[in-house]
Chain A
């Protein structure tokens, strides 16, 4: 671990989330490109679902969110150790993030309240079965409801961004286009029009690209903080440095 990149120390839960947000902010351009590219297959599936049943498109976009988290977290994990990896390397290392409870994260764990907090345990620690379950539980110890609170709040922020996108779109679209769209007719007695479902799915997909890097980052921040609080992980590099200095031939005080 490169101690130069992030100042680790035990923090209260809310501040650990803030640390994660700052981590995501520092890597923001790269994260958002990965999120954008990773969202493309989802959009394709959503388009197929739309052709069959329009409301399903929105469901598909929501359902596949955990798949998007994986490359984002892998990238963040690399950045934490001071490696800035490109897309080619991210793809080369896909076994490290594509596997590892991927199917479970889309099914039994899809509604896990603190998804982005447990994902680092699954992806970065390489445990399986009982030892992984024990590890997840142990690491959650004393974190209170931070992970679940983060999940709830990021859903709220998704709504905020989505409302913002819709409002912005409403401002920027010329009036003539609006009249052609017949938007007031979209919400009728027979439910929502197909156009509205498409708009919702597309706006949600864009929202996810914007919000998910921060959600993943914040969960990673919580994970790092729990390792500092429960394992004094933050002391490890300094202890190693001290041992190195003591064993090196010239014992000069730095």
Chain B
């Protein structure tokens, strides 16, 4: 046996000690940044694994493209400096206790200046930490907003309010459709969305047949749900804000059970797979709310998202066509808003950036100028609301049909939305 030292260490001991030391170093040593470039760190606290990862991971991928482009241009201008942007991800696994640990790590150890979250279940875990540390946080789920959440913003996706635009467009363009049925998973995402669709259908003069069907999130057999819906012979089948794992089998069931009418859904993530499993003809006219970013309509002057078509091509090049989802661009668009506000504020300090972001009560939303809004629905004006696209599948490809104004709809029908939200216990003051 070869002795590596006079102390008598053999090769096996040497290798195991070295491996242990390397592992220990990787666990305990802070990462050292070489070079003189100044960097601002942004936290990405969202599910990267598990059932809800589809609404976290693609967003992080989009952020990497955003950061590479911004950094290639020199970074974000803050005061007299150009700051490179570095994303620090933490997988919260959609669990509040892990979100709390993640928030602590990002704020106290990584010194991030802004945290982006998916929101929902994990938010209560992170909220107290964020409040104490006065950290600016964004969510994609404005149902997290309450009058107390002053540092929490919903600056991109005001789910589920934008769903009204799809129904409004449908009523204008297909006035012969008069009845609808709704199904949704019985959870925090499904319920407010059902309330919104109920309000939108009522505003559009479309009758909702029977009560909405709430199914358990653990459901795996969707045939009975679709049979029950089809038995009512509706003109429109509404899939609410179902997760991709439900939208796909429900759509397949509708196809297999011979449905030939209109379908509408909040999302149609990975819709190409649905087209493959059904047919182009069946999916023709399927309405949802999330465009592919190669759509030429995204080059209209009111759209603030920078180089959307290039962003889409780059995303497909890096991650593949099947990976694009509703959230692929959303976190990146929030970063546009944050970068503008940091430049305007001349600092990355969260409270100053928040003030700069909300200055004048308007902001540059990805799809156009928008208002900071939400007091009646969330108790606080921290949701950025403006135009939202209505998307339909045409010849197997998602295409924007129009941009509709959420504030315009709200001005006419706010009472309906509040009525249905109240009925389902979704108003901010009804939440426990």
- Answer whether A and B are interacting partners: no
